[in-house]
Every structure is written in C-alpha cells, then in structure tokens.
A and B are shown apart, each in its own frame.
Chain A
Amino acid sequence: MSRALAHLHRLSGIALTLFLPAHFYVLSRSFELDAFLAWTEQPLVKFAEWGLVLLLALHLAGGLRVLALEFLPWRDWHKALAAAAAGFAFAVGLAFALAL
C-alpha cells in the first residue's frame, strides 16, 4: 500500500506542477475573474476542479507521510500512515464535493 501511495504522490506532484502555470496565469488576470468563473460553472470543469483538490490533498498527505517517516522515530505502524494519508485525501475530496 505504501508503494501505491508513493506512486500516487509522484503522479499528483507532476499533475500539480503542470497545472500551476495555468493557475498563476488566470489569477494574474484578476480583472477578468468573473468571466473566468462563469466558465468554470460547467460540470466538466467542476469535476476537474474537484480532481485538482483531490490531487492536492493526496500530495499533501503523501508528503506529510514522507516527512513523518524521515524525521520521526521509526514505528512499526508505518503501513497505517499510508492508509491514513489516503483516508485524509478522500475526506478532503468529499468535503469539497459536498461544499459545491
């Protein structure tokens, strides 16, 4: 499970890195924000937004897991960390979906 989470951590990192320039570009044109937000009302875009939130939560949770394994004293429940990370990410995804 740790291995699967590590792969998701890497893939989410790549996806977020590719997304960032677009994100920064949109925000830099803040005077057009309302027009852009109208575009984001489309269901497919909402779904993509949810996906991005999930990816961010996944990457954060996976990253916290790495920091825990590298800097905290070693514990035998390292496997639980992977499960906890995945759980946290899905909780955030759910919270975002419910807020929509």
Chain B
Amino acid sequence: MSRRAETLLWVAQRASAAVLGVCVLVHLATIIYAVQGGLTGAEILARTRGNAAWAAFYTVFVCAVAVHAPIGLRSVLAEWLGWRGRSRDFALIAFAVMLAGMGMRAVSGVIG
C-alpha cells in the first residue's frame, strides 16, 4: 500500500473515531435510560419502528464502525501476529463488508 493510502487510512480512522465518539455517547445514554425501567422487546421496538431519525442515526453508526474497527484491527494484526501485506488488507476489507452488511440488517431489523 502506498504511503499516501496508508496516511488516508489513518485519517479515515480518526474521522470515524470522531463520529463514533458522538454515536457511542448517545448509545450509552440510550442503554442506561432503557435499562432503568427494565426493557421489553416491545418497548424498544415501539420507539424505533419506522423512525427515520433512529434509522439515520444507526446507519451512520454502522458505517462508522465498518470503517473504524477493521482499520483498528489492522495495527493489532501487524504488531501482535506479524501479519502485514496484501492478504491482511484483503481480509480486513472482507471483514468491513461483512460488518456493514450485518449492521444494516440489524438496522432494518430494528427499524422495520
């Protein structure tokens, strides 16, 4: 991978981190709020079903995670497993696609 590409990966990592900073704070607050009263499936889904705002929020969340997690894993694979080069990067692209796909299915499961 060219140095420019590697640098742009780093930029994508930090940008997605900033987005996730907001998403995770909202997510944590939502979790704690939902848990306070005890959650039933119906209770959660009643609030998310057909809701455009939650749909948008979770779509952004999923996309940011699909960028952030594989790039984060990239350093770990290099430093702890000594796995560098093309095969690692292709594996991570596949993982990113899988995360995005599963994530969007989760969003449609929750939004309907």
Contact = CB atoms under 8 A, between A and B. Distances in A.
Interface of B is mostly: helix
Contact of B39 (A27, A37, A71): A37
Interface residues of B, number: 35
26 contacts: A13-B69, A17-B72, A17-B73, A20-B99, A21-B98, A21-B99, A24-B99, A24-B102, A24-B103, A24-B106, A28-B105, A28-B106, A30-B112, A33-B44, A34-B40, A37-B41, A60-B25, A63-B17, A63-B20, A63-B21, A67-B21, A92-B28, A92-B32, A96-B32, A99-B32, A100-B35
Interface of A: 10, 13-14, 16-17, 20-21, 23-30, 33-34, 36-37, 53, 56-57, 60, 63-64, 66-67, 70-71, 92, 95-96, 99-100
